[in-house]
Amino acid sequence: MKKSLIAGNWKMYKTPKESIEFVNSLIKNLKDYEDRDVLICPPFTSLYPISQIIKNSKLKLGAQNVYFENEGAFTGEISPIMLKDIGVEYVICGHSERRNIFGETDEIINKKVKKVVETGMKAILCVGEKLEEREKGETFKVVESQVKKCLEGFDKIEEIVIAYEPVWAIGTGKTAQPHQAEEVHIFIRELISKIYNKDIAENLIILYGGSVKPENIDQLMKEKNIDGVLVGGACLKIDSFLRIIDYRR
Ligand code: 13P
C-alpha cells in the first residue's frame, strides 16, 4: 500500500528552543498511523537537536535546501553529507521561494535532486506556476518544463516526491480548489508515465502545497491523485498541524 505523506515546511520560523518544545509536543500527541508518514522540515539550526529527539519516534526529518557538492569553499552552504549524517531523510529542492527570491534555476535544482538521491536521501521536487502564467493558460506548459528540466538525466525516480505548489496559492490563503490541484496532479503523473513508465508513475507520491489548512485538508485528500500535502503556515501551530495530519478521506 502506498502511504500518504504529510509534510510541514517550517520555512524561516522557530529557534532551536522553540523547535524542541514543538517537536516534543508533536510526538506526545501524534497518533499511531499505518497509512501515512509525517515529515517535518525545520530550519538548518534546528535539524540536529530535533534529530536527537525523534530517534525513537515515527516522525521523519527533512531539510529545506542543500548544496550540490559534498564539501569545499562554498561559504554559507550546507552539504548533503552533513544532512545525511544527522539522520535527514528528505530534502526539499526547488521550492518557489528558492526559485523566485534566491534565483534558483531548473539547472541548479536538477543538480540538487541528483545529489540528494546519490547521497541516499529522498528529494521533494517542487514545481508550480505563477498567477500570470495560470491566467495566460500556461499552467501545464510551465509544470511540464519544470519537471522535464529538473529531472533531466535522472533515473532514480523512485527516490523522489513531487510537490505541486502553485505560487499564487502559497501564503496567500487562496488554496487551489481540489479539482484544480487534481488536474495538475493527473497531468504530472501522466508525464512521469511517459518519461519513465506506468508503474513508477502510479507509485509516485505527488503532494499538493499552498494554503493547506485544517478547513480544507479533508477535501484535498479526497482527490485520487493527491497523495499528501506540503504545509507552510498551518504546520507551525501544533493544533492545526495535528488536525491536518489526522485528515479523513
Ligand atoms: P503555505 O501553506 O503557508 O501557503 O505555504 C505552502 C508552502 O510553500 C509549503 O512549502
Average pLDDT on 171-190 reads 94
Distance 209 CA to ligand 1 centre (A): 6
Ligand 1 atom nearest residue 211's Cα: 4
Distance CA 237, CA 26 (A): 10
Query: What residue segments make up the domains of the chain, in order of their start?
Result: 4-245
Average pLDDT on 174-203 reads 96
- Statement: the pTM of the whole predicted model exceeds 0.75: yes
Average pLDDT on 204-216 reads 97
Question: Catalytic annotation on 190?
Answer: no
Average pLDDT on 98-109 reads 98
Which amino acid is residue 6, in one-letter code?
I
Q: Which residue, among 28, 26, 61, has the nearest Cα to 44 in the 3D structure?
A: 61
Ligand 1 atom nearest residue 212's Cα: 2
Fold designation for 4-245: TIM Barrel (3.20.20)
Ligand 1 atom nearest residue 92's Cα: 10
Paired with 49 in beta bridges are none
Distance 83 CA to ligand 1 centre (A): 22
Give 36's pLDDT tier (boundaries 50, 70, 90): very high
The pLDDT mean for the chain works out to: 97
Enter the C-alpha cell of residue 175: 488554496
Give 137's pLDDT tier (boundaries 50, 70, 90): very high
Q: What is the 3-state secondary structure (H, E, C) of 196-226?
A: CCHHHHHHCEEEEECCCCCCCHHHHHCCCCC
Question: Catalytic annotation on 118?
Answer: no
